[in-house]
Amino acid sequence: MNLATIWIVGALALFWAVGLHNRLMRLRATVFEACAVFERAMQALIAVARDAVPGGDAPSVIGAALLESATALETGLKNQKNPRRARLASQSPEDLGVLWARLQQAWLAYAVTAEGVCDPSVLQALRARWDAADAQGPLARGAANQAIAEYDAAIQQAPASWVAGALGFHSVPPL
């Protein structure tokens, strides 16, 4: 093999590695963005839950359960310094799906018991806000899980799987 062939093969390998790295970075950025949309949807639910329970009075048992569920979900989102990056580092954050389901159950219990107690117009406005925010959750979670699946497929596909770990790309658990 002459020196020119070695340089050509080396240049092609370098360009391939740079292209692979850029593709995986784009896919990872898509995962970050999709997870951010899911987190915003969860923050909107937390805000509605906090607005539903009056701050001045001691909350009822069901109101306290709603606040506790909202706080648990917020803690799950903030538990790590940057939850989206922690997911990509293969750390296991709290299961946000379980925390979200608990918040939904607490909201349903609160909405049923608040019917006779709260002002109907206020309760109607809260329900409308909740429904709007809650409708975004499954869509955002689905989009995030789709982006995660595409990213995982890309890093497990040969020949990318040969170098993805060395370049710092690791599998991501779904939301």
This model's pTM is above 0.85: no
Residue 14 in domain: yes
Residue of 67, 69, 80, 66 whose CA lies nearest to 35: 80
- Predicted local confidence at residue 87, as pLDDT: 54
pLDDT score, position 91: 46
Instruction: State both tokens at 67.
Output: 């606040």
Within a domain: residue 173?
Answer: no
Given a cut of 70, the residues of the chain with pLDDT beneath it are 55-59, 79-94
Domains identified in the chain, total number: 1
- Output the pLDDT for position 147: 94
Q: Per the domain annotation, does 174 fall within a domain?
A: no
Report if residue 73 sits inside a domain. yes
Range of the domain at 155: 9-163
What integer pLDDT is reported at residue 43 of this predicted model?
Answer: 93
